[in-house]
Structure 1
Amino acid sequence: MTDTEITRASVGLRSERGPILLAVMLSVGLVAIDSTILATAVPAVVDDLGGFTSFPWLFSIYLLAQAVSVPIYGKVADLYGRKPVMLLGIGLFVLGSLLCGLAWSMPALIVFRLVQGLGAGAVQPMGMTIVGDIYSLAERAKVQGYIASVWAAASVIGPTLGGVFADYLSWRWIFLVNLPLGIAAGWVMWRRFDESVERRKHSIDYLGALLLAAGGTLLLLGLLEGGVRWGWDSPSGIGIFVAAVALLAAFVAVEARTAEPVLPLWIFRRRVLNASNSGAFVVGVLMLGLTSYVPLYAQGVLGHGALVAGLALASMTIGWPIAATTSGRFYLTIGFRRTVLMGALFVIAGAALLLPVSADSALWQLALPCFVMGIGFGYVASPGVIVAQSSVEWQHRGVATGTNMFARSMGSAVGVAVFGAIVNSRVADSAPAGGTLDLQHLSAGVLAPAIHAVFVCSAVVALALLLSGLLMPRRALTDGPAGTPADAPPVEA
C-alpha cells in the first residue's frame, strides 16, 4: 500500500517551537498526573462502584496498555509522521478520560482505563520524538529539563489533586478535568506543528505488531500479577510466561523476515542503543522501589502522615529535573558515556545512603537519598533518550525513542514483581500460623525490616547502572546524515 514515511519535520519560524513545546508539555503532563492522581481516590471509587478486589487492575491495565503500545506507536510514527500519532494518542486519552468519568461499574472503569493507557502509550514517546525533531542536540538537554519538571510537578500535584476531588467534589473529576486540557493541547499541535514528508510505498507489519502486543501483554501481566493473583510456580504462573516466550520468539522470527518490521532487529545490534535501553530498564526498576516503598516507610515506620510522606518522595522529583536540565553541559563536553557513569555513581551513592535508615531516623535522612538518586536518574535517563535519538537516522527516531521507553516500562514491571515479592515474603514470615496480615495495618516492627530489604536490593540493582554506562561507546553518532544506512554501527573510539 502507498503511504508516507517521515524524513524530516519543519515548524517554520523558530518562534513557533514555543507553542509546540507547550503542547507537548501539557500532553505529557496529563499522562504524568494521571499515573498518580487515582491513587489517593481509590477509596472513593470503591465506595461508589464497588469491586474492591478488582481495583488494582485500574493501575495494571493502564501500565499494560501503555507499555505494549509504545514500540508500535514508535514505528507507526516513522511511517506516517509524528503529528498524526500524537493527535491519535491525545484523542484516545481524552476519549478514555471521558468514558472513565462516566463509568458505571468497576469492570467498565477498568476497560476505559485501558483506552486511556493506549492514548498514553502514544503521547509520551511522541512528545520526546517531536522534541528530538525540532530541537538541536545542544538545545535538547534544556528542553528535556522542562519535561522532567513536568513529571516532577505531576508527582506532587497528582496525589494532592486526587484527594481534593475525592473529598470535596467527585472522583469523576479526576478524569473529566483532562478533557479541556487535552483538547487544548491537541488544538495547538494541530495548528502549529507541520511536517514535511516523502511519499513512498511500504508494507505495514501487522503480524509483528500483533505478536509483540500479545507477547508483551502476557509477559507484563505475568510480572505484575505473579505472586498476587496466582503463585509463581502455579500452572497459571508458569503457563503465562511460557506463552509469552513463545509469542515473542515468533515475533523475532517474523521481524527477521519482514521488509519493514515494527521493531527492527538492528536496534539490538547497536551498542549505543543497548546501553541506553539497559540504563532505562534499571531506572524503571529503581523508580518503582522508591515510589512504592519510600512513602510507606515514612508513614508505617517513621510515623508521618500521607502528605509528609509524599514530600519525602518528592525530593527525588526535584533532583531529576535539576540533573536533566544541566546534563547537556556535561554530555556536550565530557560525552554521553561519562555523563551516564556520573549519573550511575549518584544513584549508587543515594542507594547507599538508604541503607542506614532505620525507625529512629529523621525524615530528611529518608528524603536525602531520594534527592541524590533523583539527580542520578536525571543524568542517566535524559542523556540516554537523547543519545538514542541522535544515534539513528531521522526516519528511525520514533522506534529508537519508543524502544527506550518500553525498556523503562519493562523495568517498572520487573520492579513491581521483585520488590513486591521481597516485601510479601518478609511480611508472610511475620504472619501468625494460619493467618494473614493486612499490609495497611502492619506494625513498624514488621514493616521496617521488610522495606529495608527493598533498600538493600535497590543498592545491588543500582550497580547495574555502571555496566550500562560502561557499555556506552565513548563517541556515538549525533544527528548524522539521513543517508546513513539503517544498520550502520555507532562510531566508537
Structure 2
Amino acid sequence: MTSPDTDAPISRRSVGLRSERGPILLSLMLATALVALDSTVIATAIPTITKDLGGFSQFPWLLSVYLLAQAATTPLYGKVADMLGRKPVMMIGIAVFLVGSVLCALAWSMPSLIAFRAVQGLGAGAILPMSMTIVGDIYSLQERAKVQGYVASVWGVSAVVGPLIGGAFSQWVSWRWIFWVNVPLCLVAGVILWRNFREKVERRRHRIDYLGAILVTAATTLIMLGLLEGGEGWAWLSATSVVVLGAGAALVVAFVLVERRAPEPVLPLWVFGRRALLTTSLASLGVGAVMIGFTSYVPTFTQVTLGTGALIAGFSVATMTVGWPIAAAQSGRIYLRHGFRVTALIGSAITVVGAVLMLLLGTGSTPWEVGAFCLVVGAGLGLTAPPTQIAAQNTVGWSERGVVTSATMFARSIGSALGVAVYGAIVNASLGSSAGHPAPGPLADAVHDVFVGVLVAAVGMALAVFLMPRDGAGRADRETVATEAAEARGGAAG
C-alpha cells in the first residue's frame, strides 16, 4: 500500500529544517490557546460586562455567536488552504482574530460586543483547522499523534485556566483586558509563524466556488443557531425553531445540488462518500459531544453538589487534560503497530468506561473521585481523537488535506453544538421549576442525567470507530513512515 501522504513529502511541500518545527509548533499552540481561551474566558466576566454595558438578557450570544462564526467558516478555510497554501490562511485567521479582539476591547454596548465576538469567531474558524493541517504537513506519520495531542491538550488547559483569567481581570483590572491581552499574543504567534514556516504551493488558476461557500456558511449558521438557541432562546417546537432549522435544512439540500456540479467544490461531496472519512468525522462528532458534556457540567457538579470552590472544581476536570496528551503521545506507537482503527477502538472503549464511572458520582462523592474518573475519560479521548484525525489525513495528499482536516474539525464543532443543546434540554427537563435555585440533590440528579447523555455519545463514538475500515486508511504503512521520517530529517530550507 502506498499512502497518499507520499505525493507531498515534507521536503517539497512544507519546507524547513527540523530545528524550525519547534518554533512553528509553539506558534500553532499559542494561536490555538488564544482561540480556546476566548471560548471560556468570558464566562466568569459576564456579570461585570453586563453591569458595564447592560443587556443581561443578551449575554448568551457572547458565547454562541463565537461558536457559530467559527464553525460556519471552517469548511471554507480548509478549501482555500488547499488552493493557496496554509500559511496565508493561518495568517489571515490570526489577523482577523486580532482585529476582533481589539474591537471587543473597545465595545460600547452589548450588541457591539456580540458583533465583534463574531469577528473573533471568523478568525478562529481559520486558526483551528490550519493548526492541525500544518501539523499534518510538517510532521511524519509516527510523530503526529504526540504533536496533535499537544495541540489538542491546549483546549483542556484553557477550559480550566480561561475562567480563572476572566475572573481575575474582571475583579482586579477590567474585563476589557480579556481582549487586550490577545493583541501581543497574536503578534508573537504571527511573527513566529511568518519567519519559520515556509511552504511551496503549486500556483495555478482556480475556479472559486463562491455559491457553495455562501450556501455552506448560511446553512451551518442557521443549523448551529437552531441547535444552540433551541430550548433556550425559543421553544423547540416554536415557529421560530421550525423556520430556522427548516431553512438550514433547505440550504443544505441546495448546497449538495451546487457541489455536485461545481468544478472545485468548497466541500467536496466525496468527503462524505468515503467510508474512512465518514466514520472518522462521526467519531470526531462524538469527541466534541463527550468533551463539551464533561467540561461544561463537571465543574458545576463539583461546586454545587460537592460544595467545593471554583479552583478545586477546575482542577477536578483538569485531570482530563492530563490524560489526553499522555495517551495521545503513546497512541503513535500503538497505531504504527496495530493500525488506526485498533488504537481508536481501545481509546473509545476506555472513554465508555470513564463515562460509566462518571455515572457512579453522587452527593457523597469526593473531588478526588471526580478527578480520577475524568483522567480515565481524558486518556480514552487521547487514544481516540489523534488516530481518527490522522487516519483521515492519511487517506489524501497535500492538495486535499486541508478540506479533510477541516471536515473533521467541523464535525467536532457540530458535536459540541449538539451536545450543548441536548444537555441543556436534559438539565432544564430534570430541574423543572427548581432551575432558578437548584439545590445540591436535584442538581446532582440533573447532572447524572447529563452524564447518561454523554455515555450515549461515547457509545456512538465507539460505534463510528468500529465501522472504520480495517485496512487502507485504517492501517499505517511502515514504508511510508520510514520515508517520511527520512524526509523530515533531511528536509532543507527552500
How do residues 71-470 of structure 1 correspond to structure 2 at under 5 angstroms? 71-428=75-432, 430-431=433-434, 437-438=435-436, 441-470=437-466
Counterpart Cα distance in 2 of 1:461 and 1:74: 26
Quote the offset at 1:220 in angstroms: 0.4
The CA distance in 2 between the partners of 1:358 and 1:336, in whole Å, is 36
Unmatched segments (≥5 aa) in structure 1: 1-5, 432-436, 482-493
Give the distance between the partners of 1:282 and 1:14, measured in 2 at CA.
Answer: 34
Q: Distance in 1 between matches of 2:16 and 2:340?
A: 30
* Mapped contact 2:99–2:120 kept (Cα < 8 A): yes
For residues 331-379 of structure 1, the C-alpha deviation after alignment (integer angstroms, 9 at most, x for no partner) is 1111100111001111110011011211111112222221111111111
Question: 1:11-62: per-residue Cα shift (whole Å, max 9, x none)?
Answer: 2322122221111111111111111111111111111111110011001000
C-alpha separation in 1, matches of 2:97 and 2:204: 30
Amino acid at match of 1:451: V
Q: Give the count of matched residue pairs.
A: 468
Asked if structure 1 preserves the Cα contact closer than 8 Å seen for 2:16 and 2:196, the reply is no
Give the letter for the 1:25 counterpart: M
Aligned equivalents of 1:460, 1:77: Cα separation in 2: 35
Report the secondary structure of 1:257's partner residue.
coil
Equivalents in 2 of 1:247, 1:54: separation in Å? 27
Is contact 1:155–1:317 with CA below 8 Å preserved after alignment?
Answer: no
The offset of 1:296, in angstroms, is: 1.1
SS of equivalent to 1:201: coil
Deviation at 1:140, TM superposition (A): 1.0
**1:490 aligned partner:** none
Q: In the TM superposition, what is the alpha-carbon distance from 1:146 to its structure 2 partner?
A: 2.1
- Tell me if the contact between 2:348 and 2:384 (Cα under 8 Å) persists in the aligned partners: yes
Q: Distance in 1 between matches of 2:156 and 2:444?
A: 27
Q: Is 1:11–1:192's contact at 8 Å kept on the other side of the alignment?
A: no
Which whole-Å CA distance do the structure 1 matches of 2:472 and 2:105 have between them? 46
Letter of the structure 2 residue corresponding to residue 391 of structure 1:
T
Change over 3 Å in CA distance of 1:49–1:338 after alignment to 2: same
Provide the C-alpha distance between the structure 2 equivalents of 1:260 and 1:147, rounded to a whole number of angstroms: 30
Deviation at 1:139, TM superposition (A): 1.3
1: CA distance between counterparts of 2:412 and 2:222?
Answer: 17
Deviation per CA, 1:420-479, whole angstroms, max 9, x where unpaired? 111101111x44xxxxx41xx311122111111111222222111221111111223469
SS in structure 2 of the partner of residue 45 of structure 1: helix
CA-CA distance at 1:275 after TM superposition: 1.5
More deviation, 442-451/341-350: 442-451
CA drift of 1:151 comes to: 2.6
* Deviation of 1:267 (Å): 0.8
Distance in structure 2 (CA, Å) of the matches to 1:26 and 1:297:
30
On the 8 A contact 1:337/1:474 being kept in 2, the answer is yes
What is the alpha-carbon distance in structure 2 between the residues aligned to residue 378 and residue 12 of structure 1? 28
In structure 1, C-alpha distance between the alignment counterparts of 2:272 and 2:25, rounded to whole Å: 31
Higher relative contact order (CA 8 A, sep 6+): 2
Cα distance in 2, alignment partners of residues 461 and 22 from structure 1: 32
1:20-35 pair list within 5 angstroms: 20-35=24-39
The Cα offsets for residues 51-89 of structure 1, whole Å up to 9 and x where unpaired, read as 110011001000000001111100010011101000000
User: RMSD between aligned alpha carbons?
Assistant: 1.6
* Counterpart code for 1:19: P
- 1:386 CA drift (Å): 1.1
- The answer to which of 12-21 and 329-338 deviates more is 12-21
TM-score, with structure 1 as normaliser: 0.92
Q: 2:66 aligns with which of 58, 62, 68?
A: 62
Decide which of 52, 56, 59 is 1:52's aligned counterpart: 56
Q: Distance in 2 between matches of 1:412 and 1:297?
A: 19
Shift of 1:412: 0.5
Answer with 344-353 or 381-390: which moved more: 381-390
Is contact 2:285-2:461 (8 Å) kept? Answer: no
* Match for residue 473 of structure 1 among 469, 472, 486: 469
Q: Secondary structure at the match of 1:103?
A: coil
Q: Deviations for 1:121-163, whole angstroms, at most 9, x for unmatched residues?
A: 1001101111111111011122113213333332232121111
Aligned residues with identical type, % of pairs: 57
The answer for the alignment partner of 1:14 in structure 2 is 18
Moved more, 354-363 or 214-223: 354-363
Aligned to 1:484: none
Bigger mean CA deviation after superposition, 189-198 or 150-159: 150-159
